[in-house]
Structure 1
């Protein structure tokens, strides 16, 4: 009897379990809340009515989005069970997919969505959802690298939804149009249909070929307004263009260039001075009759005293100092009566006063760019070699902080002095020293000699090598010596002397490094070509400082533009320049690879962008 009761209980349990998991007949899909995406997909797969299953999955994905779990939503929205949605279900799925793709910054998914969409698609949604659908569509297209279609979506939204803010939407339209590639813009301009589209595209095309002449840009903007008086953008200019038009007629005229012309920083100060003055004379928009540039020596005097003296005179802008200590003195003030474009950066524990802008050849900027490039190249674990000292400390902090932020692991950061045994340093960072020590420990344990060939650690995917050329030329062959020659090597600009030297730099072959356009794109730089004929100090490290001085001139005219327009940028000689809310200028440099001992610029995927001051 006991056996029969056990058998009956077992059968009863099986019946219950079967009723629970044999299908969705016992599950109300209109109210059921799945514990995981996998459970939702399993339940939907057992549903005989495809549309009922799809409605359940879309509701579940929406619930995950509400909780902020867009990864779970993506697992559902990209599943094959939702490939066949139609009508309203298709529209709902697309809206949810765009929202999660944007939140996750999933470019691949955004591109898939863009490939199956048209600019007018958002018009299919009800009036109360029109603006949301259009904004999601525009953001998705931008994420997919389709700025023109993104702009066209916003232009159409502005025509169909009167509740949108003209200033806001015009700013967004312009932020997309100015990044459209030159060829695509020209082609679209000739084929444009519709008053609004034609006006916007002509505005973008008109400003594309001004050569960065701010006066010319301001005049062309006003001329376009006169030619298109009834266009919405003529009545409400994008903020950036309105600011450009105003700045072109209100730039600083009395400028003091405050640099060290004596002492240990004299050569650097003179190189920056020469670059600043050369760029001024090369700038066709500069008003020679109004602009006055006065050069003063900051050596051997407290900069704060000099600043107070200069600010009491007829001065619109002070460019300098170069010395970090001089810049730190200004942090004692809350507001600067005369704006300062400092040619260095404040220490992290100093607060920037109002009116202080900071610009320089920041090693921290380069470290962060290296980290970002590693992520773009899908490198997840790295080793690093960085010099000892205060400069190396700053590079280490900037690199490791950025790596942590973007999810790249620094397995080991090895610090070194130039006079160290570089072979031992290389063995340490590659883990060969530890490998050898483990073999010695084994020999001691078993009392026998062990045949051993040291091998580097196998979990690293790349090496970040922060080293001057003379040191870098020794490190790179050592990587191969220790069987790590297959690891890609990334470096900052100090890896390259700035002048091609194939016979010496062959040891750096395949090293990927970042540097400024002045150095890497020398054949495309008219200012450099002209300066080399009449001036010394335009190459190598002094050349980088010369380029910094030239960009300081460009910045002097556009500081309000960079500060007030969020995505404004200048294509400068030292990189693409943008401004942080703190007033610090950040640079994005070019990338190159050593091939046969000479640097070859790596092409970027970004289009020819329209930026003020290009």
Structure 2
């Protein structure tokens, strides 16, 4: 992009010293006012054309209106047209704010062509932007410009940006920070974290990343409990109301969570005070009424409700005098002073994608079913993979009622331009044009699917799936077909863990542990631990739970990193440190 090379050296000097020829403010012409109205209405393409018209009829303000036209084309997604317009702009005829906006737009165009170095040259000198109304955009663009060459510095920029964001934007930004830190080697993460001060915006993210890998926290990053903004008070667990659906369509799920919560409570010899289990019913109104009863009875902490609809309705009610540990994620942000904890398909998909990115396997083919859980897992995987520079090359959607999926697989490979022919000898090395397969289907379908994938010469291609692949009460003989396939799931379902009730003992006495409800039992175990083992701890520090490594982020949401397992001779095994594994062993 020649424009950047021509304009950048002059423009940097102009931005660093006030330009006497540029007016400090402008009075818009009638045409420009009409264009601004179109822009505010979201009619960006029409606004761009109107600004060009205004520029052609207002010679003195021509450059400013062309800049607004370019910004409008940017919002409309027409980056190339915006670039062409910028060739006609004289920076000397812009005021200071307009010069800053021009510099930001030039940097964004550089990023669009993956010219990170040019974007850094444009952005780094703009220190005045840090105190301007364009601060958030400047930080976001700088983070993007640095994330490939210095992920830790980019994470610091995004952490600074996070202080200016709200709601979903802030959550997405936090996930981007977690992905950047996860991409660092152990040595780089440790040495970089030691450079942080105790109140650095990146502190909580760095602490979580270090503890998740089992590293000690540098002294300057440690905090006393009183300094940390945790939603749980030391007295909160003295009287707990457990709001769960013990009637209606979610009764069995509610009972499994209840049993897990109480099992953790009884193992701790009753520590944690009084617990009352309250039926939250089968709809959102019943859950809100159950919360109000708990508050009226003087309980200091509410755990629940369980359904997404009930949690959303409770958070939207706005009247929450008693702290809540909600057992699902709502569309609304978690209110300040409360927490949410969830087992979501999106989180499992994201964990699988994180595993792929860590191992340098960014090109993925996905195989999913049509149900809600599979589709949500796919969404989480795609979002995490693409944010980390990966790509889903194709999605095979199968009907789990069928037994032959080869036509569906072949059609997706053809559409993606990938080879479909298999070698005559399946053990001959074969390059399929992608790095790994993501699977989100149930065990019965997976046992049919995996051998059919291998018929396409994919015996040595790593495969990773969600917890849908594993039935804790399944038949190991049938699961031999899945040997070598990895999946993300709650570690307690496979191994007994320190500090938790022994699953091998409980499974002989509790019905929920013999089927899929075992995950909800483990979820209940962790809900109790979150309340009773974090009162004096740093919430950002990751700790081993039944459902994975747990930490609490700055929004009150519990972050969960499930464990990676692999099928070996039909039985799940925890994956040792190293690469994804095929049936033949570790892969680099």
TM-score by length of 2: 0.59
Please give the alpha-carbon distance, in whole angstroms, between the structure 2 residues aligned to 1:369 and 1:602: 14
Please give the alpha-carbon distance, in whole angstroms, between the structure 2 residues aligned to 1:555 and 1:581: 15
Cα deviations across residues 79-128 of structure 1 (Å, max 9, x unaligned)? xxxxxxxxxxxxxxxxxxxxx99983479xxxxxxxxxxxxxxxxxxxxx
Q: Which residue of 2 aligns with 1:21?
A: none
After TM superposition, the structure 1 = structure 2 runs for residues 187-586 of structure 1, keeping only pairs within 5 Å, are: 238-240=223-225, 249-283=234-268, 286-287=271-272, 291-300=273-282, 302-346=286-330, 348=331, 350-420=332-402, 421-431=404-414, 458-499=432-473, 501-522=475-496, 526-557=501-532, 567-586=540-559
Please give the alpha-carbon distance, in whole angstroms, between the structure 1 residues aligned to 2:230 and 2:433: 55
Question: What's the offset of the Cα at 1:481?
Answer: 2.1
Query: Larger C-alpha radius of gyration, 1 or 2?
Result: 1
Question: What's the offset of the Cα at 1:278?
Answer: 0.7
Q: CA separation of 1:295/1:266 partners in 2, compared to 1, >3 Å: closer, same or farther? A: same
Higher alpha-carbon deviation: 462-471 or 240-249 = 240-249
Please give the alpha-carbon distance, in whole angstroms, between the structure 2 residues aligned to 1:102 and 1:495: 34
Contact 2:366 2:438 in 1 (8 A): yes
Question: What's the offset of the Cα at 1:275?
Answer: 0.6
Cα deviations across residues 264-311 of structure 1 (Å, max 9, x unaligned)? 322211111111001011125825xxx110011122462222222322
Matched residue SS, 1:581: coil
Contact 1:278 1:550 in 2 (8 A): yes
Please give the alpha-carbon distance, in whole angstroms, between the structure 1 residues aligned to 2:324 and 2:411: 45
Q: CA separation of 1:418/1:245 partners in 2, compared to 1, >3 Å: closer, same or farther? A: closer
Q: CA separation of 1:553/1:328 partners in 2, compared to 1, >3 Å: closer, same or farther? A: same
Please give the alpha-carbon distance, in whole angstroms, between the structure 2 residues aligned to 1:351 and 1:181: 28
Cα deviations across residues 452-507 of structure 1 (Å, max 9, x unaligned)? xxxx9932221111111101001001112233333221101111112574311111
Give structure 1 regions of 4+ aligned residues with deviation exceeding 6 angstroms: 67-71, 100-103, 146-154, 165-169, 244-248, 432-438, 559-562
After TM superposition, the structure 1 = structure 2 runs for residues 54-133 of structure 1, keeping only pairs within 5 Å, are: 104-105=149-150
Matched residue SS, 1:392: helix
Structure 2 unmatched ranges of 5 or more? 1-106, 119-144, 153-180, 422-429, 580-588
Please give the alpha-carbon distance, in whole angstroms, between the structure 1 residues aligned to 2:400 and 2:231: 52
Q: CA separation of 1:148/1:559 partners in 2, compared to 1, >3 Å: closer, same or farther? A: closer
Contact 1:386 1:467 in 2 (8 A): yes
Q: CA separation of 1:245/1:494 partners in 2, compared to 1, >3 Å: closer, same or farther? A: closer
Contact 1:561 1:568 in 2 (8 A): no
Q: Which residue of 2 aligns with 1:59?
A: none
Please give the alpha-carbon distance, in whole angstroms, between the structure 2 residues aligned to 1:503 and 1:414: 27
Q: CA separation of 1:474/1:605 partners in 2, compared to 1, >3 Å: closer, same or farther? A: closer
Contact 1:426 1:475 in 2 (8 A): no
Structure 1 unmatched ranges of 5 or more? 1-63, 74-99, 108-138, 155-164, 186-199, 205-232, 439-455, 607-614
Q: CA separation of 1:167/1:326 partners in 2, compared to 1, >3 Å: closer, same or farther? A: closer
Matched residue SS, 1:372: helix
Give the RMSD, CA atoms, in angstroms: 4.7
Please give the alpha-carbon distance, in whole angstroms, between the structure 2 residues aligned to 1:315 and 1:505: 46
The structure that is helix-richer by fraction is 1
Contact 1:381 1:408 in 2 (8 A): yes
Please give the alpha-carbon distance, in whole angstroms, between the structure 2 residues aligned to 1:325 and 1:72: 46
Question: What's the offset of the Cα at 1:399?
Answer: 1.7
Contact 1:147 1:176 in 2 (8 A): no
Matched residue SS, 2:512: coil
Contact 2:265 2:271 in 1 (8 A): yes
Q: CA separation of 1:478/1:283 partners in 2, compared to 1, >3 Å: closer, same or farther? A: same
Cα deviations across residues 146-188 of structure 1 (Å, max 9, x unaligned)? 777778888xxxxxxxxxx77779x89x949974998x98xxx
Q: CA separation of 1:492/1:334 partners in 2, compared to 1, >3 Å: closer, same or farther? A: same
Q: Which residue of 1 aligns with 2:165?
A: none
